[in-house]
Structure 1
Amino acid sequence: MSEPTDLDALRRLMPPPTAGGSTIDWTALDASWGKPFPPDYRRYMELYGAGALRNYLSIGLPEPKVPLERAPRDGMVIETATAEADWETEEKTPELEGTSPVLITWGADANADMLCWDASDDDPARWPVVVYQRNGSLWSRYDCGMVEFLVRNCRAEWPENPLGCEFLWGVSEVTFQAR
């Protein structure tokens, strides 16, 4: 994964907000989840922060891992619990059959597709993206980081669209609305 190059490509596709991204206490977040977050995600948050791509794909601020009853509605903790529940009951592509990933959800789209990491590896720079496409009821794995996944999706570089709608598939520019 060539993360700086991917971030440069994303900047060209989707100019960051002029106000910049978010300041995040990564030490506290890493401690609450028991592992550090990927470096490309950290840089993405510094540059963009929370927001929506084309008013379709939402990427929220990372939040500390707390018990579900104390977690903010529609945040990372709740979305991760939803992904874990769906993992148990939904179909998977062949490379995912029989696996037990450690899921952390980093994005969700207007079709209720979930974009997660498989955080099983000790090195967060090696966490692949795992997508649950709700319309197809299928989990798929993409061996790249979050930023590379976004760039390749916008450029339509996958054999087929990983998401349930065409809003970010094969586009030359993307609008970003900060939250």
Structure 2
Amino acid sequence: MQPWSEIEAELGTELPGDYKQLCQAFGVGEFSREVSVLCADETRVLDLPRWWRVLLKSDSSDGSFAPYRIHLPGTTGGLIPWGGARSDDWFFWQVTDGTVDEWPVLAMQVDVQEWSRYEMTATEFLHRILTDRTFRPHSVARSAFGPFFEPV
């Protein structure tokens, strides 16, 4: 069971429903040995609140996340991390004034400091990167066996 009320209280915002269902269904682990989703994680390895706090402490206006910033409770426009890939891509929501289920996904290719914005849910984005080889630059769809999940 994920402690959503505690996590959302710390972040100062609700989290998208599809993401919470994904964490409830799968828990902590890795998809296709490539992509991890941050949930509540007792081991702290893939723990969303922990990663958010770490990124928030290291954020600056001209830092790694420019032109964006990490989410501050009570504000809009900031980023909340929800996943990443072994290729050093990071996945975020951008907190907007709209409903949480309509927050865009922002994906960052760390090695080239390039951002992509997607008007889709985290689960749709995850599905696309796991199954659609043409969904560049973030696709990890290379396996002939299709996507799979391994708990951590």
TM category (shorter chain) comes to 0.7 to 0.9
**d(CA) in 2 for partners of 1:86, 1:117:** 16
Q: TM-score, normalising length from structure 1?
A: 0.64
Unaligned runs of 5+ in 2: 69-75
**d(CA) in 1 for partners of 2:24, 2:101:** 17
1:162 counterpart (119, 134, 137): 137
TM superposition shift of 1:79: 5.7
> 1 or 2 for the larger relative contact order (CA 8 Å, sep ≥6)?
1
Aligned to 2:51: 76
Aligned length: 137
1:88 counterpart (44, 62, 66): 66
TM superposition shift of 1:137: 2.1
**d(CA) in 1 for partners of 2:136, 2:143:** 9
Q: Tell whether 2:119 aligns with 1:146.
A: no
Q: Secondary structure at the match of 1:135?
A: helix
TM superposition shift of 1:107: 0.6
Q: TM-score, normalising length from structure 2?
A: 0.74
Unaligned runs of 5+ in 1: 1-22, 64-71, 91-99
Q: Tell whether 2:99 aligns with 1:126.
A: no
Among all aligned residue pairs of Structure 1 and Structure 2, give the percentage whose two residues are the same amino acid: 22
Q: Deviations over 1:102-124 (max 9, x none)?
A: 10001121122100000123411
Contact 1:112–1:134, Cα closer than 8 Å, also in 2: yes
Aligned to 2:72: none
Q: Tell whether 2:17 aligns with 1:31.
A: no
Q: CA RMSD in A?
A: 2.9
